[in-house]
Each structure stands twice: as structure tokens, then as C-alpha cells.
Amino acid sequence: MSVSVSVPTILRPMTKGEKSVSADGATLSEVIADLENNYAGLGGRLVKDGALHRFVNIYVNDEDVRFTGGLDTQLKDGDQVTILPAVAGGRF
Amino acid sequence: MTGATRSGRPPWSEPSGAADKLAGVLRIPRDLVEAIVGHARADHPDEACGIIAGPAGSDRPTRLVPMTNAERSPTFYRFDSAEQLALYREMDARDEEVVVVYHSHTATEAYPSRTDIAYAGEPNAHYVLVSTREPHRDEFRSYRIVDGVVTEEEVEVLPADGNVVV
């Protein structure tokens, strides 16, 4: 299963400036492992203690993966994975 | 409007050297400043949030996009994730990028909190903080937040630009 992964500005230093890279995997978890193999350190920015990091949003096509099974989200050939920084903050 | 720095590295960020850049300046037309303050006042006591997009690479804010605070909270904000994806796709299609990320503090000063610093994920953006704690006095300040380092920058308010989208 080959998918394309859109990389946000803040993580592009890890993909040699590439805005979009391809990765293989049948689940989001496998895709992230494949990204980590090719771009060391990238996986750690996306997953912490076995769960998606709260500082990023990951989408498969139009769906936020928090609503489609998280790391277990199933992927099809040609799916578009988008990583965005979560935009959040507050008083404290 | 200059000067202060405070550190506290977000856990997902490592030094890239970009924080060494000199403090810059946010140049922003008066109509956009007024629109941000108006949004913050309208949503008070909840925190208001949004972005100003501009042509990629220009550092010029031109198109205000108020965002839904999915938390609807007086102490926290988070862009609605579906709305954010639509926005980023639209900016891509228009060859725009995020020039300003803004939000309000409703009971504290217009300075980035630890949470703001931890989440700051747009190294090229100006982070604008508005405080609505005093009903008749607006605080409008701008920062760079890179690798967990906050650098306040000058805000230069330009004459109103009839071409901006507010």
C-alpha cells in the first residue's frame, strides 16, 4: 500500500525540505514506521508512548484519524495522508 | 513593543537554529488589526482564534480567516480540525501561507503561555496575542515562537488597506 504524505513546514527539515513524500503501509501505524525508517526522528514527532501526539493532527483523505481508529486506521493504495500542526493554546 | 524572551521547548521540537534570527517586525494594515480585536471582543469571555493568510514568501498578511474555537473555552483554544484541513488546502490552492496566527487571552496579559509555546507549530508565522481583560483598553502584541523560544517583535500598523479581506 503506497500513500502520499503531506508534511507541514515545521517538519520539513526532517524530509530534506520535501513538502510531500511517499510511504508504505496498510495502517497509519505502519506508514509512520516506514516514515521513521526513511526520515529518522519523524516518527517521534507524530507518536508518543504509542499514541498520536497531541501537537499534531493527522488526516487520511478528509478524515481526522482521531475519529477513524487513530494509529489503526486502515489505508488504501493512493490514500492522501496529511500532517498538520495542531493550532491550539490558552491562558496557562 | 520589543524585547522579552522566555524559553520552554515544546516536546516535539528540536533546535533548528531558526531561533537565532533577529527579532523582526509585524507590518499589518489597520483594518486587519481592528478585525482581530473585534473578533476577540465579540467572543469574550471565550478565547477567539484565527489566522491571516498572505501570499507565500511575502510575510504580508492580506486575508483574515476567523476560526472556530472548538473548545469554546475562556482558558483554551483549538482550531476545529476539519475546518483547519479545509483552510490549509485552500491556502495551498491559492499559493498562500499562514502569516499570522492570532488568539485572545481574556483575563491575562497578551503574552504566550506555556501551552501556547508548546503548541506553536508554525515557525514562519507571527503569533499575535490580544488581551481583552480590560474592557476599554486593547493589548495587541506579536511574537515569534521558534524551537520553544519566544521573541517579542515590534508591531508596525500600516494605513488601512481597502484590498485586504476581513
ipTM of this model? Answer: 0.93
Contacts of A17 in chain B (CB under 8 A): none
Q: Where are the beta strands (DSSP E) in chain B?
A: 5-6, 25-29, 49-55, 63-67, 76-78, 96-105, 126-131, 139-146, 149-158
Instruction: Inspect the interface and report whether the beta carbons of A86 and B88 lie closer than 8 Å.
Output: no
User: pLDDT-derived band of residue B165, with 50, 70 and 90 as boundaries?
Assistant: confident
State the pLDDT at residue A90: 87
Q: Determine the average pLDDT of the residues in B140-146.
A: 97
- Chain B from 115 to 134: CB within 8 A of any A CB: 115-116, 118-124
Return the domain boundaries, chain A: 2-85
Instruction: Inspect the interface and report whether the beta carbons of A86 and B106 lie closer than 8 Å.
Output: no
Q: Which CATH number is associated with domain A2-85?
A: 3.10.20.30
Instruction: Inspect the interface and report whether the beta carbons of A89 and B107 lie closer than 8 Å.
Output: no
Residue B5 has pLDDT above 80, yes or no: no
Q: Which residues of B125-142 are buried (b: 16+ CB within 10 A; e: fewer)?
A: bbbbbbbbeeeeebbbbb
Q: What is the pLDDT of residues B36-56, one digit of tens each?
A: 999 999 999 999 999 999 999
Contacts of B59 in chain A (CB under 8 A): none
Q: What is the pLDDT of residues B90-121, one digit of tens each?
A: 999 999 999 999 999 999 999 999 999 999 99
E strand or H helix that includes residue A47: strand A47-48
Residue B19 has pLDDT above 90, yes or no: no
Q: Which residue segments constitute the domains of chain B, with CATH numbers given?
A: 5-11+21-158 (3.40.140.10)
Residue B7 has pLDDT above 50, yes or no: no
